[in-house]
Amino acid sequence: MIDVVAIVGPTASGKTALSLELAKRLDGEIINGDSMQVYRDMSIGTAKIMPEEMAGIPHHLLDIKDPDEAFSVAEYQKLVREKIEEIRSRNKLPIIVGGTGLYVQAVLFDYRFSETQVDEKLREELYEELEEFGPDHMHAKLMQLNPEADIHPNNARRVMRAIEILLSGEETDRSLALSPMYNEVIIGLDLPRAVLYDRINKRVDGMLEAGLLEEVKALRDRGIRDVQSIQAIGYKELYAYLDGKLDLEDAVRQLKQNSRKYAKRQFTYFKNKLPIYWISALENPEKNFQEIQSIMQEKDRQRRIERMDHQNKEQEI
């Protein structure tokens, strides 16, 4: 049987709606797969599902961190793997839903991380590397660690902090990064770029109407600054507006542009790093469900054949 399903895709592609449909039909529970939706008081800008929209489906790993707390991929991996086992122990299907490809990959495949926290020695080594090779080199290093990172190459301080956070869970063996931990199925939502970009623009307008500026102002008024969470798209642009660095029109324009660029990077990561079964985001839910069911059945069949072949080879030895 399939151990876990993941629904991935770029921002505004319809992951939430599809995940709810799957959870209802397959007796599943949903695990957050978005690195920013773990933060409390950051709901509008992260497009977090609201309790009244959950349709009675249990959702996990939302609102587990304060905005000024750090959160690494290593911590996410640990929490989600524990949650997968918990959900499966209740004979439910775990469904990971989100657009942070690195996080999803770290859970489903054999990414191994060190247990040590970022220390002064690591920080010193990174800054020596910065001094020797320059900010462009360090930005390239960040993009290797996390292609989805949305920090300008000129912002060396934030580039360095992002690298430190990621290296608090540094891989110890990259060769294992595509060795599966589960009998998983990863479903990707695909749609034409023009349609996606139009959806993104409309989503940003909807977020502003829903009170995104007020949400950002509340964080700023609490003194939340220079932390990982507010580097998220939708927050950093409006912080710049509230700090007087941009007028509101320019901030919104940048927000939309950065969201579109992020969606492009998400597509690139998913298509290069993960074994995804792509389906059209424009199809009706019934057709998508039937297609996903067929994919799950075929993947399960293939896995059984692989296990039988492995057992036969062991017997021959």
Q: Decide: residue 159, CB within 10 A, 0-12 exposed, 13-18 middle, 19+ buried.
A: buried
- Quickly state the pLDDT bin for 314 (edges 50, 70, 90): low
- 74 a known binding residue? no
Q: Decide: residue 111, CB within 10 A, 0-12 exposed, 13-18 middle, 19+ buried.
A: buried
Query: What pLDDT is attached to residue 114?
Result: 56
- 229 a known binding residue? no
pLDDT at 169 over 80: no
Q: Which of 30, 24, 11 is nearest to 206 (CA)?
A: 11
Q: Where are the beta strands (DSSP E) in 16-152?
A: 28-32, 59-60, 93-97
pLDDT at 4 over 70: yes
Distance CA 64, CA 58 (A): 15
Residues 6+ apart with CB under 8 A from 156: 130, 135, 138
Distance CA 17, CA 49 (A): 10
Question: Which pLDDT tens digit goes with each residue over 206-234?
Answer: 999 999 999 999 999 999 998 878 888 99
Question: Which pLDDT tens digit goes with each residue over 41-92?
Answer: 999 999 999 999 999 999 999 999 999 998 888 899 999 999 999 999 999 9
- Quickly state the pLDDT bin for 193 (edges 50, 70, 90): very high
Amino acid in the structure at residue 35: S
pLDDT at 312 over 90: no
- For residues 33 and 231, which has the higher predicted lDDT (pLDDT)? 33
pLDDT at 301 over 60: yes
Q: What's the average model confidence in pLDDT over 160-175?
A: 64
Measured torsion, CA atoms of residues 52, 56, 60, 63, in degrees rounded to the nearest 10: 20
Residues 6+ apart with CB under 8 A from 132: none
- 116 a known binding residue? no
Question: Which pLDDT tens digit goes with each residue over 257-293?
Answer: 999 999 998 998 898 889 999 999 998 888 999 999 9
Residues 6+ apart with CB under 8 A from 109: 176, 177, 178, 179, 180, 181
pTM listed for this prediction: 0.82
pLDDT, the chain, mean: 88
Query: What pLDDT is attached to residue 172?
Result: 43
pLDDT at 178 over 70: no
**Fold category of 4-117+168-316 in CATH:** Rossmann fold (3.40.50)
Contact criterion met (CB below 8 Å) for 186 and 9: no
Q: What's the average model confidence in pLDDT over 99-113?
A: 88
- What is the SS3 assignment for 185? strand
Measured torsion, CA atoms of residues 208, 209, 213, 214, in degrees rounded to the nearest 10: -160
Give domain limits for the chain: 4-117+168-316, 118-167
- 211 a known binding residue? no
- 46 a known binding residue? no
- Quickly state the pLDDT bin for 175 (edges 50, 70, 90): very low
Q: Picking from 199-203, 289-293, 298-302, which range would have the lowest pLDDT averaged per residue? A: 298-302
pLDDT at 134 over 50: yes
Query: What pLDDT is attached to residue 130?
Result: 82
Q: Which of 267, 259, 101 is nearest to 192 (CA)?
A: 267
Q: What's the average model confidence in pLDDT over 131-148?
A: 78
Q: How many helices (H) and strands (E) does the chain have?
A: 11, 6
Cα within 13 Å of Cα(61), Cβ side: 27
Q: Picking from 69-73, 144-148, 153-157, which range would have the lowest pLDDT averaged per residue? A: 144-148
Distance CA 9, CA 14 (A): 8
Query: What pLDDT is attached to residue 142?
Result: 84
Query: What pLDDT is attached to residue 154?
Result: 86
Contact criterion met (CB below 8 Å) for 105 and 111: yes
Query: What pLDDT is attached to residue 119?
Result: 57
Query: What pLDDT is attached to residue 173?
Result: 47
- 268 a known binding residue? no
